[in-house]
Structures are given as structure tokens and as C-alpha cells.
Structure 1
Amino acid sequence: MGFKTARIFSLPHSKGLWAAVAVAVCCLIGGFFITSHVAGLVEDIIAAQHQQKALAKLSEARTRLEGQVGAAISLGKGLRGYVIQDELTQDEFTKFSSELIDDVPFIRSLGLAPDNVVKYIYPYSGNAAAIGLNYRQMPKQWPSIEKAMESRSSVLSGPVEMIQGGRHLLVRVPVFPPAYPQQPIAERHYWGVATLVLDESRLFAAAGLAEVSDGYRFAIVSSGQSDGSPDLIFGDGDLVHSEAVSLPLVLPGDKKWEILSYPVGGWSIDSKEVWMTRILGMVVTLIISTMAFLLIQEVAKVRTMALHDPLTGLANRRLLEDRMQQLLAMADRNGSGFEIFYLDLDAFKPINDSYGHAVGDKVLIEVGYRLQFQTRQTDTVARVGGDEFIVLTPGAMKEDERKGFLKRMMDQICQEFTLPGATISLSASIGFASYPEEAGTIEDLLRIADARMYNQKANRSVIKQPAVLAGQTG
């Protein structure tokens, strides 16, 4: 019976509570999603700002590096103009080359190869092993020479392991001496190639490049036109397969050159702005969820108060009439009927007079519970007056069914009410009416049931007064 009581009196409140919880949870979930989305946008903006900063540094480094390589190529073109003369001694070449490149720290050596065979080199000391080198017989160096010959323009290649030792970048400048003044380059005869050997570390230092600078890591890679695996030229090789930003380097030759940059600590997006966005979003979400919970719960309470009796938790007259209208509409559609039972407690006023209204209220609550105990979930038990109740049951009853139902309700009401200090006996008068057999409207139905209830009360020869059995305590 305790379970039944809990269902009766807490159901309207529970529905409102669960509805409020559901709305609050939806607000929380939606708020968290929105907060995460906005925080993600802030993260993207901050990451984009960091990348723009990295790109700005890359742009500066690229400009300096391209300028240094361009200066080396210009020196090679100057050498090309000097070798127009037919004969050139090593001493003459040494004298000219020293004037040309001694002030350029990143040019390690300078060589001339008539018909692609190295004949002159500067400085001679330490590089003499390269004299007589035939580029056609050097598989790793010949492609860049051939490219320079075919394109009739300078080519940057490497890094290459040099025969005299070391790994260096090479600038190939093809030499095409004119046969007469202003002869078109396309008509000139190929004489040979000038090679400038660039010291990588000094070149990058001259361009202001370091592997780590101002909190950023740098790298330079090169790859052939169809080669998907880049060669590391400078810097941190891990940047090649990371989320580093990059810019193309405009350098002569058929290779693609790129300069890359990546923050030492990665793209830091866990910033104050992101945390503030998350915290503010969560706070707003919690406030909205709490307000929604309280609002829905309050609406549910107001609705419950409007449709339920505040003392017993049973349906009130308004809810009863609404359900009767629904059953009336259903009956008109499918021919089904319904029954109402009008119940009035006998001699209830003496209970209030003898024991007080608090005890009377407990009796009314227990009556409501007992009526609920005898009804189905589809039935409606309503309190419509001080000690008046109406039971609404869908579906027409046969006479024996109705008598059995009336007896069960009466047996429940007539059971003793055990209270602290006393036991109270109670009885009731019950009238009934059936739709559509006995009435065509709700008003007529209520009038008939009410009349039968009062007739039953009036026809009783003796009205049983509440009896108190002394000495029994609850």
C-alpha cells in the first residue's frame, strides 16, 4: 500500500521534476556543444594568428636567402664574362677569383670547367683533387650541368658530396662566349661551366637563418619535380612531416625548394582567451540550465495545482471534467461508454469537531488512497468537495460488475481508520450513472449520480455515526 500512496501523491510532482531535469540536461548538453564550438573557433583564430606570425618570419628569411643566392649567381655571371679570352692561366684565375669572392664568406670555392672538365679552381690549395674532373663521368653532378647547358641559365643543385671533401650546394653558371658583339644567347657556342661551391652553414648564417630563432624552428627542403620525398637541406628534419607552415623558395633549377617553420612548443592554442571562453560558456550554460530547471518545475507545480487537489493529490473538478470530455468524444466515435460514481462520506463533520481538522485531513487522504487502490491506472479518482469524491471509469459496466465495484469501494471506506490514540469507523453514500445509457450530457450524468447518492443517504434508516474504539492506538 505504501507504493500505491507514493504513486498517487508524488506522480504529478515527479512528472514535473523529470520534465525539468530533461530540459536542464538538454540545455547543459546544448550549452556545452555551443561552448566547445565557440572555443574551437577561438582556437582556430589564435592558431591562424600564430601561423601568420610564423609566415611573416618565413617571408623575411626567404627574402634574405634568395638575395644571398642571387648575389652568388651574379658573381658567377661576372666570372663568365671574364673567361671570354681563349687562354687563361691558373695564376690569372686565382688573382681574378680572389678579388671576386674573398669578401663573400659563404662561397667556399670557384671552378671553371671548359667542355665540362675542371681546369681552373680557386682556392687551389685543398681543392687540387678536383683538377681534371670530368663532369660527364659524375652521375650525381652531371644532371645539373646538363640542365644548365640545355636551359642556358644558372642552376642551383645539391647538396653534393664533393671529391675534395664536404657536402655543399653548387651554383652552375653555363658559359656561352659571344662570337661577335651582341650575339643572341641562343646562337652562341657552349664553352663550359663555372661552378660556385657554397658553404651551407655560412650561406644560411649570412641569410640570418638558424635552426631555432625567436621561438621558432626552421628547415629548408628540396625535391625534384616528380619526387615526393624531399631532401633536407637545412634545419630540423622533423618539420618535414609536421604541421609546419611553409613558403616556396624561388631559386634557379628544376627542383622545388621550400622553407618551413614551426613553433618550438607547437601551435599553442591553450591560451587565456580559450580558457576564458570555456569558463564563460560553462557559467552561462549552468545559469541557463538552472533557470530552465526552476522555470519548468514551477510551471509543473502551477499546472499540478491547477489540475490536482492540493490535499490529496487527486484530480480536481477541472481535470475530472476534462477527462470526461475526452471520454465523451471517444464514446461518440467508437460507441464506448463510461461510468461515474459519486461518493459522499457519512457524518464526516463530527470527525473534524471531535479530533480537529488535521485528523480530518488525514482521513480524507486515506480515503483518496483507498479509492485509488481499488481503481485502475486508466480510471480517475477526483476530490470535488470537502468530503465528496467522484470515480470515473472508462467502459460501460454490466450490472453485476457495477455492484461488485460498488461493494469493493464501500468495503474499503468502511475499514477502520487507525490514528494515534483512537480508531475511527466511517461509511459513505455512493451514487452512479452510466453514459450513454442514462444521460446524453456530462451535466445530466453528474446530476443523476448526485441524486442517487443523496437518495441512498436519505433512505438509510439510521446514519452510522463515527465510532471511537478507545484503547487502540496506531
Structure 2
Amino acid sequence: MASIAAVFCFFVGIALTGYVGLLVRGELVYHHKSDVIAELSDIRAKLELEISRAVAHGLGLRDFLGEFQGDPFEPDDFRNIATELLETNSSIRSIGIAPGNVLQAVYPLASNESAIGLDYRSNAAQWPAVEQAMRSREIVISGPVDLVQGGRALLIRIPVYPAGFTSQPLAERSYWGVATLVMDEDKLLSFAGILPVQDDLRVSVVSRADGGSTETLLYGSEIPEESDPVAVPLVLPGAVAWELLAYPEGGWQSAGKQVWITQFVGSVLALVFSVMTFLLISEIYRARSIALHDPLTGLANRRLLEERMQQLAAMCERSGVGFEIFYLDLDAFKPVNDNYGHSVGDQLLIEIGQRLQNQTREYDTVARVGGDEFIVLTPGSMRQAEKETFTARLAERVNAVFEFSGTHIDIRASIGSASYPMDAATISDLLRIADGRMYAQKARSKQAAPNLPKGGVPQAG
């Protein structure tokens, strides 16, 4: 039992150590994610700043274009302001002007000539964003899209609604056209610090449609959803539903000295606790064994014997099956102590206990209940012939000569038996009856052989 309890406590301790280890790993992952979110927040701030600067330039351009209300648009008229915008924001690749949604001017014109004359309404890729800006009268950011003149870019659509008079409400103004700021993808991402892999991180910009259920990669590295990336939202004009995602190349950090220390200390504590449990239970059992067993012979004492008799009596009430007791007393044991010393007498008592155990079954009980008194308890009822046979066998074995240090000592024992519940209804009465029959048998033995030498007389040999 002590071993089982110790093993159980050890494995419980190991399980608790594993659980605490998981908590520590979770804490390490949490801190790692917090660090990555802080890094993403810095990238987000740079990206939002650069796009917001471009939008601010676009609003200035919109005010400039508002001056063309009712006048024909001349492409050369916006060259100076376009040049200034590109010089102050290196992320702006080009600027396009589309009165009536037809692209009439692009700056710089070099490498963008093919885009002149583009009617946005006929371009399936670009028209939805232009139409959205026109109808909502708000700035719309879209992309990345494939450009007519080649390449991909992020587009900022700025609808132009010139005022017909001072303080004219926006809802009452007439649509003039749209200005488009083409953001250089590489420069924008480089400014924000978004690289394919940076500081062992995969960083990407994604857009979410359909309430966030559909994710589309815009920029950066592909990050599998099962990798559990961290995300921060991008707050951009036009209610753009973009997010920044990041995931470490080697996965989230879940190992460190804290984990090893936790597991080592937990394992040591589990081992110590299991050893202490083993020692404690062993001590409890040892103390109980001392309280319930005879210290000399190791046999059951009177207390343990009566406990087992009470148990068998309780079982008898349910099953009707009783038990037998055989009360044994050594004849003339005192001369052995007087003639040979108490050490020899003790060895004789130990030998008698062993002889009785050798003649009984595993589930029988042999108890020492007095100085030279023993009781054998056998569960189950016996017929009279069986009891006589068993008593004779016990007597024959016990009465064998005891040899010690070259000395042969005669032993005689008297035995009295009693049956529960045939002879008595209580344990105390049963013991009293068996004791009386034992003394009666002792008296008959003395009358039958009055001149036999008393116990303890050495024999020749």
C-alpha cells in the first residue's frame, strides 16, 4: 500500500509539474506574442503615417482641382503641384487626373503614356473603387491592382466635388472627376519596415471581406492560418478593413530556462513527496502492526484476534457460516524459563508460533494472547470429527521435542475448542468456553499421567 501510494503521488506530482510547465510555456508564448504585437504596432504606425501623408497631399490636390469648376481641364495646369507632391512624398509613384472618369493627365508622363485616355468605367479592375468614391464622396483606398501601364500599386481615389459657391454642402455639389495617387508598393513597404522576413518574423498585410471571413494577402509573406499569427488592425481612410499579421519563422517561443527549472524542481518535489508518502504510510503500517501483533513472535495479538472474530461474527449474521477457535496453553512452561533462561523460553514461544502457522491455512489466524497461550482462529464451521482431527494434528505438531543448542526439551500443550455460534453468541463467552475446555483437557492430562516429567526436563541425546 505504501508503494502504491508513493507511486501514485509521484505520478500526480509529475502530472502537476507537466501542467505547470504548460502554464509556463503559455506565459512564454504570451510574452513573445506581446513583443511581436509591439513590433507590429510600430510597423502599423509607420504605414498609417505614410498613407495618411499621401491622403493629405491628395486633399490638397482636390482643392486645387476644384478651381476648374466649369472650365476646361488643361493637363499642364497641375504639373507644378504634382511635381511638389512627388518631391515631398517619395512613396507616391505617380498622380493621375480623370475629369468625368477619363484619365487625361498623369505625372510623371514617362512610362505612363499608355494610361492616358483610360475610361475607368470600362476597366473592370479599377471601376469599382472609382464608383465607390464617386457615390460615397469619400476617399477610397484600393489595391494592390494591376496598372494599365504595367506593374502593381496601391491606389488612393479622391473624388472631386467643386463648390459652386462658398459653403455649398457637399451633398449638393456636382461630381467633377477623380484624382488618383499611385503609391509605390516597394517604397511604401520599405518605409513601414515590411519585408518578406524581418527579425525572424513573417509579416503580411491582408484585407478581410465578408465580415472578416475571407482573407486576401496584399503585401508581405504568406502566413498559414493554423500557425496562430498575431494581428493588429490598420486604421486607414475609407474604412479599409486591413490587418497586419506576423508569425515567427521558428514558431512561438515556448521553451526556456523557466520551463526546465519548473520541470526539474517539480520532478524533485514529486520524488521527495512520494518518498515522504512512502515513509509516512510505512510508519503508520509499522505502528499499526506493532499495535496489533505480538512483538516477540510476530503473531496477531489479542486485539487483532478479537477484531477478526468480530468481523467473522458480523459475516455470520448475513451468511450463517460461523468459525472455530482453538485455545492452546503450554504445560509447565515456567520451568523452561527457570532452568534455561528467558532467552530459551522466548525461542520456544517463537517455535510454537511457527509450528502453529505451519499447520494452518493462509486465511486462518494464529494469535498469542498470553505468556504461553495461543489461539488458532479458523473461518467456517467444522463437524465434530473434523475438529478432533484438527486438534490432534495441532497437538502432535506442538508436542514435538524442541531442540535448542544441543538440548532436547519435552513440550506438552493443552487445547480447548469452541464454535461460533453453536457454543456462544458473544466473543467473550466464546473465549471463556474455549479457555474452560482447555483447562479441563489440561486437568485430564495430569490425571492420566501424574508421574510424567514436567516440561523443561532435558532428554538424553
Normalising by structure 2, we get a TM-score of 0.87
Amino acid at match of 2:27: I
Amino acid at match of 1:51: K
Amino acid at match of 1:278: Q
Q: Is 83-92 or 162-171 further displaced after alignment?
A: 83-92
Q: Does 1:43 find its partner at 2:25?
A: yes
- Encode CA deviations 1:152-184: one digit per residue, 9 max, x unaligned: 111111111212121111111111122222222
Contact 2:407 2:458 in 1 (8 A): no
2:298 to 313, 316, 322: 313
- Structure-2 separation of matches of 1:378 and 1:135: 101
2:447 to 434, 459, 464: 459
Q: Is 361-370 or 271-280 further displaced after alignment?
A: 361-370
Which residue is 1:9 aligned to? Answer: none
1:232 to 203, 217, 231: 217
Q: Equivalent residues in 2 for 1:117-156 (5 A)?
A: 117-156=102-141
Which residue is 2:44 aligned to? Answer: 62
Q: Equivalent residues in 2 for 1:56-205 (5 A)?
A: 56-84=38-66, 85=68, 86-205=71-190
Q: SS of 2:128's equivalent?
A: helix
Q: Does 1:30 find its partner at 2:15?
A: no
- Structure-2 separation of matches of 1:142 and 1:176: 18
CA displacement at 1:111 relative to structure 2: 0.6
- Structure-1 separation of matches of 2:419 and 2:84: 124
Contact 1:320 1:380 in 2 (8 A): yes
Q: SS of 1:238's equivalent?
A: coil
Q: SS of 2:414's equivalent?
A: strand
Amino acid at match of 1:405: F
- Encode CA deviations 1:66-89: one digit per residue, 9 max, x unaligned: 121111112122222222322333
Q: Is 186-195 or 259-268 further displaced after alignment?
A: 259-268
Q: Does 1:242 find its partner at 2:242?
A: no
2:307 to 311, 319, 322: 322
Q: Does 1:339 find its partner at 2:324?
A: yes
Contact 2:336 2:345 in 1 (8 A): yes
Gap runs ≥5 in structure 2: none
- Encode CA deviations 1:401-437: one digit per residue, 9 max, x unaligned: 2212212222333456678868877543212233455
CA displacement at 1:396 relative to structure 2: 4.2
Q: Does 1:369 find its partner at 2:357?
A: no
Contact 2:400 2:410 in 1 (8 A): yes
Q: Does 1:277 find its partner at 2:262?
A: yes
- Structure-2 separation of matches of 1:260 and 1:335: 79
Taking structure 1 as reference, are residues 297 and 99 closer, same or farther at Cα in structure 2, changes over 3 Å only? same
Contact 1:109 1:121 in 2 (8 A): yes
Taking structure 1 as reference, are residues 234 and 416 closer, same or farther at Cα in structure 2, changes over 3 Å only? farther
- Structure-2 separation of matches of 1:423 and 1:201: 111
Q: Is 268-277 or 61-70 further displaced after alignment?
A: 268-277
Contact 1:225 1:256 in 2 (8 A): no
CA displacement at 1:295 relative to structure 2: 0.6
Contact 1:239 1:262 in 2 (8 A): no
Amino acid at match of 2:6: A
Contact 2:144 2:152 in 1 (8 A): yes
- Encode CA deviations 1:295-335: one digit per residue, 9 max, x unaligned: 10011011011111234332112211223344455556776
Amino acid at match of 1:339: E
Q: SS of 2:103's equivalent?
A: coil
CA displacement at 1:40 relative to structure 2: 2.4
CA displacement at 1:60 relative to structure 2: 2.4
Taking structure 1 as reference, are residues 418 and 117 closer, same or farther at Cα in structure 2, changes over 3 Å only? farther
CA displacement at 1:114 relative to structure 2: 1.5
Contact 2:21 2:259 in 1 (8 A): yes
Q: Is 352-361 or 296-305 further displaced after alignment?
A: 352-361
- Structure-2 separation of matches of 1:442 and 1:83: 117
Taking structure 1 as reference, are residues 115 and 422 closer, same or farther at Cα in structure 2, changes over 3 Å only? farther
- Structure-2 separation of matches of 1:341 and 1:460: 22
- Structure-1 separation of matches of 2:177 and 2:132: 13
Taking structure 1 as reference, are residues 325 and 242 closer, same or farther at Cα in structure 2, changes over 3 Å only? closer
Taking structure 1 as reference, are residues 169 and 420 closer, same or farther at Cα in structure 2, changes over 3 Å only? farther
2:242 to 257, 265, 272: 257
- Encode CA deviations 1:28-50: one digit per residue, 9 max, x unaligned: 22222322233322332332222
2:287 to 297, 302, 312: 302
- Structure-2 separation of matches of 1:132 and 1:337: 115
- Encode CA deviations 1:328-353: one digit per residue, 9 max, x unaligned: 55556776544321113356567778
- Structure-2 separation of matches of 1:49 and 1:391: 71
CA displacement at 1:240 relative to structure 2: 5.1
Which residue is 2:418 aligned to? Answer: 433
Amino acid at match of 1:137: S
CA-based RMSD of the aligned residues comes to 3.0
Contact 1:219 1:239 in 2 (8 A): no
- Encode CA deviations 1:265-308: one digit per residue, 9 max, x unaligned: 32212122222222222222222211111010011011011111
Contact 2:194 2:220 in 1 (8 A): no
Normalising by structure 1, we get a TM-score of 0.85
Taking structure 1 as reference, are residues 196 and 439 closer, same or farther at Cα in structure 2, changes over 3 Å only? closer
Contact 1:343 1:389 in 2 (8 A): yes
Q: Equivalent residues in 2 for 1:418-429 (5 A)?
A: 426-429=411-414
- Encode CA deviations 1:348-370: one digit per residue, 9 max, x unaligned: 56777888766765554443334
Equivalent residue pairs, number: 452
CA displacement at 1:217 relative to structure 2: 3.5
Q: Is 444-453 or 80-89 further displaced after alignment?
A: 444-453
Contact 1:344 1:453 in 2 (8 A): yes
Contact 1:249 1:257 in 2 (8 A): yes
Taking structure 1 as reference, are residues 434 and 206 closer, same or farther at Cα in structure 2, changes over 3 Å only? closer
Amino acid at match of 1:36: G
Contact 1:177 1:190 in 2 (8 A): yes
- Structure-2 separation of matches of 1:288 and 1:437: 52
2:364 to 360, 372, 379: 379
- Structure-2 separation of matches of 1:102 and 1:240: 40
